[in-house]
Chains A and B, each alone.
Chain A
């Protein structure tokens, strides 16, 4: 069964499908939406400091600022918080600094929300202040949150929200994998690196802007650019993702298809690609985790029983919007219909005049752009050279659960996986939650191998 070969066929030149105007239009709207989601932040160019504000929630929910507490920036010096709880420790140059809070200097009854997080790593860029967060709580607050923590309903609500968040980001990361499989039969193991690429590209634009690209391409110790606001960086990251998808298909996979390289061989090639990309990220980006310049230390908002940081609320809203639009694209546009036709039966689609190569190219572009956007949202938490690969297990579980090759299946599967693994932490250690995804996958393969939305005949 492993020599399933799809040869390039010499069929008569297919008639072109109408240019996907609606597609481009909708994509522009998405980009504009993302752009409008938040105003740009002002930049401060003189020197650089590590900044934090020490505060906790008072009994009436108001902010209470802590003065007189001491933080130490390793190798630089100490700072003491003023009346507004603020500490700014100037650092001489860009770099990674370990910042420690002296818990003994906190007022009586005030403690860290997670007692073991006395040290935070601050990555300071040249000329840019770095804001970090030490989450504090009062005794009353600690008691309240302990009570909340034991309240199963509240915890359930919080985990559901987290699950939805992860599920939505995962859906965007997964949908391209499923669409590419549907149209070409290829399981792309490098898809996780497309997710990482989105996060890292966003990070790059966030810190260095478009001018940074030129600075990076010219291998000289030149000035990088200044960076753009995260909102625009996300858009640029998404475009970078789409561009990578386009290039990979054009340069590599189209050639492989044309040469009639077997799907199994293509799959192994994607594995090689995944390794090359991942370790090039490590080579150029380093192994440490990075946070975006903006919105990195946000206070969570209380929405009923649920706490979420504003950036995640916005990102979740955008995800829902994007996923809905992908749904509209697939059902309403000619290109979307062509995609589904090719997924359904490639030969039939080809013989009925659909330009299959063009459809595949479009799928790669949009699938990769969606993965990049998902990657940027995952990276709101932290970007790392292999964070995409770390969720590959979840992506595979999601698409297998939903039905490999079906777009809506990937969406559904991702939401279910997000919810299941987060809710599983009610009963198992959070460190093990990703293993639950594997369990789901094995169960699906045993009892409904075609997935929730797949058709039985596809499995062969």
Chain B
């Protein structure tokens, strides 16, 4: 669980708006994490105490804000979100029944799809129309529901690709080994560190295609961390992962928060969400119908109507069984 200090500093550099209190907690959390993960106090405990549990409510320190985001496919409106504000440094879960538009919304947030209307801003700066590949440099990295490990490349190459702003990735410098050799070895050292943290060091030279589904999820998460993000968006990180690995993945997600990285993730599995999330946003039929802490959401009648109370409540645990068996 050890995280190098450089990465934390870099988070701070990437993200000058980050409040002192979070950074302080991060340093402490990181140290404690090295000893025993379970004992870390939630660094943002109490942050949501004064937050109104209604859709679009303002947060004390917002990293990502989406307003009036609409996406239509033909005559069908897939997403129509009035307002969503994501708290920095917290784990926010985006849940909703199948077909609620979660992944579409994710694509809109990350520039993989363009909204017909609306406005998304990251750290207060609008990212409308910003090409998806530029968002990584701004501190936002995503993963995919169907893992996109680069199958015919080694695990190590996958990791190395995650690092941003590499000089050797420019055609003009690529042949001048001397110009990027030093940076390459730094990136490699960082990749080795992350692989060790995710217990994948022994697989570094394997083709990514040889990994199991859960290992690929881990790889994708580790790879995303190579970019030193301040916000990481995970699209169903637990789908298709066997139960043993789920706990490990959850541990990694919590550790991210403890280091000050904001996490937004989509998930089906209610047990997972309740245990790990600091805040939950509920999407149904393309709109946000509720927000709140896990306790608030699970007792919200609208949510129970739309999601928990209907057949989907049962389906979620069934769904988990199905996925685990893969």
Would you list which residues of chain A between 1 and 58 have a CB under 8 Å from chain B?
3
What residues of chain A lie closer than 8 Å to B151, measured between beta carbons? 3
Query: B16 on the interface (CB 8 Å rule)?
Result: no
What residues of chain B lie closer than 8 Å to A3, measured between beta carbons? 151
Q: B74 — nearest CB in chain A belongs to which residue?
A: A455
Q: Is the interface of A mostly helix, strand, loop or mixed?
A: loop
What residues of chain B lie closer than 8 Å to A62, measured between beta carbons? none
What residues of chain A lie closer than 8 Å to B74, measured between beta carbons? 455
| Chain B nearest CB, measured from A344 CB (Å) | 11
B 3-39 to A, binary, CB cutoff 8 A, 1 in contact else 0:
0000000000000000000000000000000000000
How far is B138's CA from A62's CA once the two chains are assembled, in angstroms? Answer: 82
A 441-460 to B, binary, CB cutoff 8 A, 1 in contact else 0:
00000000000000101000
What range describes how many residues of A lie at the interface?
under 10
| Chain B nearest CB, measured from A91 CB (Å) | 64
Q: A455 — nearest CB in chain B belongs to which residue?
A: B74
B 63-76 to A, binary, CB cutoff 8 A, 1 in contact else 0:
00000000001100
What residues of chain A lie closer than 8 Å to B73, measured between beta carbons? 457
A 101-138 to B, binary, CB cutoff 8 A, 1 in contact else 0:
00000000000000000000000000000000000000
How far is B151's CA from A457's CA once the two chains are assembled, in angstroms? Answer: 26
What residues of chain B lie closer than 8 Å to A455, measured between beta carbons? 74
B 52-96 to A, binary, CB cutoff 8 A, 1 in contact else 0:
000000000000000000000110000000000000000000000
B 150-186 to A, binary, CB cutoff 8 A, 1 in contact else 0:
0100000000000000000000000000000000000
What residues of chain B lie closer than 8 Å to A457, measured between beta carbons? 73
A 60-92 to B, binary, CB cutoff 8 A, 1 in contact else 0:
000000000000000000000000000000000
| Chain B nearest CB, measured from A1 CB (Å) | 11
Q: A456 — nearest CB in chain B belongs to which residue?
A: B73
| Chain B nearest CB, measured from A449 CB (Å) | 14
| Chain A nearest CB, measured from B105 CB (Å) | 16
| Chain A nearest CB, measured from B148 CB (Å) | 11
How far is B183's CA from A327's CA once the two chains are assembled, in angstroms? Answer: 62
| Chain A nearest CB, measured from B150 CB (Å) | 11
How far is B73's CA from A249's CA once the two chains are assembled, in angstroms? Answer: 33
B 135-155 to A, binary, CB cutoff 8 A, 1 in contact else 0:
000000000000000010000
Q: A3 — nearest CB in chain B belongs to which residue?
A: B151
How far is B151's CA from A174's CA once the two chains are assembled, in angstroms? Answer: 36
Would you list which residues of chain B between 104 and 125 have a CB under 8 Å from chain A?
none
| Chain B nearest CB, measured from A239 CB (Å) | 39
Q: A457 — nearest CB in chain B belongs to which residue?
A: B73
How far is B208's CA from A3's CA once the two chains are assembled, in angstroms? Answer: 15
Would you list which residues of chain B between 209 and 247 have a CB under 8 Å from chain A?
none
| Chain B nearest CB, measured from A36 CB (Å) | 44
| Chain B nearest CB, measured from A375 CB (Å) | 36
How far is B72's CA from A457's CA once the two chains are assembled, in angstroms? Answer: 11
A 419-460 to B, binary, CB cutoff 8 A, 1 in contact else 0:
000000000000000000000000000000000000101000
Q: B73 — nearest CB in chain A belongs to which residue?
A: A457
| Chain A nearest CB, measured from B192 CB (Å) | 28
| Chain A nearest CB, measured from B19 CB (Å) | 40
| Chain A nearest CB, measured from B196 CB (Å) | 30
How far is B74's CA from A3's CA once the two chains are assembled, in angstroms? Answer: 28
Q: B151 — nearest CB in chain A belongs to which residue?
A: A3
How far is B5's CA from A452's CA once the two chains are assembled, in angstroms? Answer: 55
How far is B73's CA from A318's CA once the two chains are assembled, in angstroms? Answer: 38
| Chain A nearest CB, measured from B183 CB (Å) | 29
How far is B73's CA from A430's CA once the two chains are assembled, in angstroms? Answer: 43
| Chain A nearest CB, measured from B209 CB (Å) | 10
How far is B73's CA from A455's CA once the two chains are assembled, in angstroms? Answer: 9
Q: B152 — nearest CB in chain A belongs to which residue?
A: A3
How far is B151's CA from A229's CA once the two chains are assembled, in angstroms? Answer: 59
How far is B74's CA from A455's CA once the two chains are assembled, in angstroms? Answer: 8
| Chain B nearest CB, measured from A226 CB (Å) | 57
| Chain A nearest CB, measured from B79 CB (Å) | 14
How far is B163's CA from A356's CA once the two chains are assembled, in angstroms? Answer: 44
How far is B8's CA from A438's CA once the two chains are assembled, in angstroms? Answer: 54
| Chain A nearest CB, measured from B110 CB (Å) | 16
Q: B113 — nearest CB in chain A belongs to which residue?
A: A457
| Chain A nearest CB, measured from B213 CB (Å) | 16
| Chain A nearest CB, measured from B75 CB (Å) | 11
| Chain A nearest CB, measured from B155 CB (Å) | 18
| Chain B nearest CB, measured from A403 CB (Å) | 14
How far is B151's CA from A3's CA once the two chains are assembled, in angstroms? Answer: 10
| Chain A nearest CB, measured from B112 CB (Å) | 10
Would you list which residues of chain B between 278 and 316 have a CB under 8 Å from chain A?
none
How far is B73's CA from A457's CA once the two chains are assembled, in angstroms? Answer: 8
How far is B149's CA from A3's CA once the two chains are assembled, in angstroms? Answer: 13
How far is B75's CA from A455's CA once the two chains are assembled, in angstroms? Answer: 12
How far is B153's CA from A3's CA once the two chains are assembled, in angstroms? Answer: 14
How far is B73's CA from A25's CA once the two chains are assembled, in angstroms? Answer: 38
How far is B74's CA from A117's CA once the two chains are assembled, in angstroms? Answer: 56
Instruction: Point out residues on B near A: beta carbons under 8 Å.
Output: 73-74, 151
**3 pairs from A and B in contact (CB 8 Å cutoff):** A3-B151, A455-B74, A457-B73
Q: Which 3 A-B pairs have the closest CB atoms?
A: A457-B73, A455-B74, A3-B151
